[in-house]
Structure formats: structure tokens, C-alpha cells
């Protein structure tokens, strides 16, 4: 091979998802996900040592109770964003399922049936998103801005400014119950079950490989036998379903069904997912990174609150963290190309050596 054709530098726009010329330990340890997990560990250690009260079991309890809705919704959101789509309507489905549970329970229906209907409505909401995105062929960002307003409007319209607060004590207690004396709330169990389902689905099944394939190239995936439309549709339905589940939990946790429950949570979920290493372009990301991303934001919020920092400071930190984490990875990539091309000269010598 002539050195010239070999050494033409790859255009910056070519995305590299895994460097298979690197040794295995480097590929595993030097990933975005590991960086976030390491950062999470550092923050936990520093917070435990410097913030009084952070190491207490009660802090852990509240931390988990607070982040559970975001953790839940982040699972399907990760899969959707890996296909290169997005769902902005999740928080509105949280609100809608909360209101439906409340209205039906208030109307005399047993709570369990009301919750099941709310789950069904969440699934239908997701199916509407999926239908508009896959069958009609609309961009998901636009579709879900529309359904964000629609579902929230239905929620607020059904209940107005009133709130339903009479839920069976058994369920409201269960939402806050702890596993013995550990301080770990019971809600961790359904979350872990869902996490296992989603992890197997994404990382160990052909369906999951299809999700990555769609994100990298829709056309290639379709030619490789992935049913792109069906895959996306299933993911949107799952997102609606899980969001409704989060909505029911949210209702029980605060003992109150309101139309404006969880307003703005979609941005928190997306911020956590992106922080966890999922590319908005699709094709890249993993669940362990996303979980770490959600927990990182949650731990920071909880530690700062304990340290008597205004709770809204978390906004700056979330935002800055998000920007720094995405900018730094492209900055590192830029540095790498700089290093390969000293003085800005074409990378001929380096590449021929390799």
C-alpha cells in the first residue's frame, strides 16, 4: 500500500466508538462510563468526609427515594437515545399517570386497578409517540415537544389546581418503607428488577444490538435485518410504561396527585443520561454509565443541601457538569489529533510508522 493513501487523516466527523487497537484493560477502564463512576466514587468519599450528616443511613434513604423516578425513566430513555431519538414527554406522562391514579381512586375505584389503568395510559401515551415517530416518520424531538404539552395539558385539565391526597396508607407506606434497618428503601427492588430487564435487553440480546445499530446507521441496520420501526416503537411504549410507573411511585411518595407533578423532570433525565455517556447522535452509551450519571447528580444535590448550600445551586453544577463532560471528551479527541500531528503538519510520518 502506498503510504499516502494509508495516511490520509480520517475526517473529524468520523465517529470512533471503540479503539480495538488498544489493549483490553485500556478499553474497559478508559471509558466515559468509568470516568463517571470514578467521579461518583470521589464525590461520595469527599462528601462523606467533609459534609456532616452525609454518611448517615437517613441520607441514603432520602437520596434513593428522591432519585428513583429519574433512575426509572433513565432506563428506557437510555435505549431511546442510543437509537438517536429522544423522548421529552416522559415527565408529562408522570404527571398524567399521577392524575389518573388520583382521579380514579378518588372516584371510588380500588387503588390497584386505578394504578393499572394509569400504567396502561402511560403505555398508550408512549405508543402515540412511537406511532408518530415510526409510522408517520416525524422527528422525535418535535413529536415529543407536542406530546409533552398534550399529556401535561390532559393532566392539568383533568384535575385543575386541586390535588387528590387520599390514598391507601398501605401503599403510601410501602413507597417509603425500608429494608430492615439498612436505610435502603424498598423501591430499590422493583428498580433492580427493571434494571436487570433493561440491561439484558440492551447488552445481551439481538434486539439490543439492533438498538446500537440503528443509532450508528439506520440504513445499515435496516439492511442487516433490524426492524427499525418496530424497535423504536417498542422503546417508546416502554418509556411511556416506565414513566407511568414512576408517576405512580411519585404519587405515593408524596401522597399527592397533582397535574403539575414532576414538571421539568424530562430535562433532568436527559441531563443525567447524557452525563452518563450516551451520545445524542445515537449509537453510543451503556446503562452502568447512566446509573452513575443519575446518582452523581443526586449525590451532589443531596450533599450540597446538607452543606446548607441553596438547593438551586445544583442547577449551576448540573449544567456545568453536563457542558464540561461533553466538551471535555471532544477536547481530548482534539488533543489526541494534535499530538499525532506536531506543529500542525500533516500526519504522514506518524501514521506510516503505525
Partner 1 sequence: MSTATTTPTSNVTKRVSAIGKARELGILLALVIVVIAATAANPNFLFSADGWRDLLLTPSILVLVAVGQAIVLITRNVDLSVGSVLGLTAYLTGRLFIDLPGIPIVAVFVIAVAFGGVLGLINGALVAFAKVPAMVITLGTLYAYRGINVLWTGSDRINASDLPKSFLALGTEQFLTIPILTIIALVVLIIAGWYMKNTRGGREFYAIGSDPAAAELYGLRVTRRLLTAFVLSGALAGLAGVLYAARYGTINSQAGSGWELDAVGAAVIGGVAIVGGVGSVWGAAIGAVLLLTINRALPILGIPDFWQRAVVGVLIIGAIVLDRVLAVRQKRKLIEARDDS
Give the footprint of partner 1 on this chain (CB under 8 A).
12-13, 86, 132, 136-139, 141-143, 145-154, 156-157, 160-161, 259, 264, 267, 270-271, 274, 280-281, 310, 312-323, 326-327, 330-331
Cβ nearer to partner 1, comparing 62 with 151: 151
Judged by CB, which is closer to partner 1: 204, or 281? 281
Q: Is 31 exposed, middle or buried (0-12, 13-18, 19+ CB in 10 A)?
A: middle
Give min distance, CB of 303 to partner 1, in A: 16
Nearer to partner 1, 6 or 328 (CB): 328
Q: Give the Cα separation of 273 and 168 in Å (integer).
A: 34
**CA atoms of 283 and 277, how far apart (whole Å):** 11
Q: Closest Cα to residue 147, out of 228, 84, 86, 83?
A: 86
The grid coordinates of residue 63 equal: 437520596
Least spacing, CB of residue 272 vs partner 1, in Å: 11
Of 60 and 128, CB closest to partner 1? 128
CB of 275 to partner 1, least distance (A): 9
- Cβ-based burial of 35 (10 A; exposed 0-12, middle 13-18, buried ≥19): middle
67's CB contacts (< 8 A; 6+ apart) are: 294, 295, 297, 298
Nearer to partner 1, 9 or 153 (CB): 153
Instruction: Provide, rounded to whole angstroms, the least separation between the CB of residue 39 and partner 1.
Output: 16
Q: How far is the CB of 146 from partner 1 (least distance, A)?
A: 4
For residue 307, the minimal CB distance to partner 1 (Å) is: 15
Q: 191 or 236: whose CB is closer to partner 1? A: 236
- How is residue 194 written as a grid cell? 427493571
Q: Is 164 in a helix, a strand, or coil?
A: strand
Helix axes 90-106, 265-275, angle to 10 degrees: 140
Amino acid at each position: 500500500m502506498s503510504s499516502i493513501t494509508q495516511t490520509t487523516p480520517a475526517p473529524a466527523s468520523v465517529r470512533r466508538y471503540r479503539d480495538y487497537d488498544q489493549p483490553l484493560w485500556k478499553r474497559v477502564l478508559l471509558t466515559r462510563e468509568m470516568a463517571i463512576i470514578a467521579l461518583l466514587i470521589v464525590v461520595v468519599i469527599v462528601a462523606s468526609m467533609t459534609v456532616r450528616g452525609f454518611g448517615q443511613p437517613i441520607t441514603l434513604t432520602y437520596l434513593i427515594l428522591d432519585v428513583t423516578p429519574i433512575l426509572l425513566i433513565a432506563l428506557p430513555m437510555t435505549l431511546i437515545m442510543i437509537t438517536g431519538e429522544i423522548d421529552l414527554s416522559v415527565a408529562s406522562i408522570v404527571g398524567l399517570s399521577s392524575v389518573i391514579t388520583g382521579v380514579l381512586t378518588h372516584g371510588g375505584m380500588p387503588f390497584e386497578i386505578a394504578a393499572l389503568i394509569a400504567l396502561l395510559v402511560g403505555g398508550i401515551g408512549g405508543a402515540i409517540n412511537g406511532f408518530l415517530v415510526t409510522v408517520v416518520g416525524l422527528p422525535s424531538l418535535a413529536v415529543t415537544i407536542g406530546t409533552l404539552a398534550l399529556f401535561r395539558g390532559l393532566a392539568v385539565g383533568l384535575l385543575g389546581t386541586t390535588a387528590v391526597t387520599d390514598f391507601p396508607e398501605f401503599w403510601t407506606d410501602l413507597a417509603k418503607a425500608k429494608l430492615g434497618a439498612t436505610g435502603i428503601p424498598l423501591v430499590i427492588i422493583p428498580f433492580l428488577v427493571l434494571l436487570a430487564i433493561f440491561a439484558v435487553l440492551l447488552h445481551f440480546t439481538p434486539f439490543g444490538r439492533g438498538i446500537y445499530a440503528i443509532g450508528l446507521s439506520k440504513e445499515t441496520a435496516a439492511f442487516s435485518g433490524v426492524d427499525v420501526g418496530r424497535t423504536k416503537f417498542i422503546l417508546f411504549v416502554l418509556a411511556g410504561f416506565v414513566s407511568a410507573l414512576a408517576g405512580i411511585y411519585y404519587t405515593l411518595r408524596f401522597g399527592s396527585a397533582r397535574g403539575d407533578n414532576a414538571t421539568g423532570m424530562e430535562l433532568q433525565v436527559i441531563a443525567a443520561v447524557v452525563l452518563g455517556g450516551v451520545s445524542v447522535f445515537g449509537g453510543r452509551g451503556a446503562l452502568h454509565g447512566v446509573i452513575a450519571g443519575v446518582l452523581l447528580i443526586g449525590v451532589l444535590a443531596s450533599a450540597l443541601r446538607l452543606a446548607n448550600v441553596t438547593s438551586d445551586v445544583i442547577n449551576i453544577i448540573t449544567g456545568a457538569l453536563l457542558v464540561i463532560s461533553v466538551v471535555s471528551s471532544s477536547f481530548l479527541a482534539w488533543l489526541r489529533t494534535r499530538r499525532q500531528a506536531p506543529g500542525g503538519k500533516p500526519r504522514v510520518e506518524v501514521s506510516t510508522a503505525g
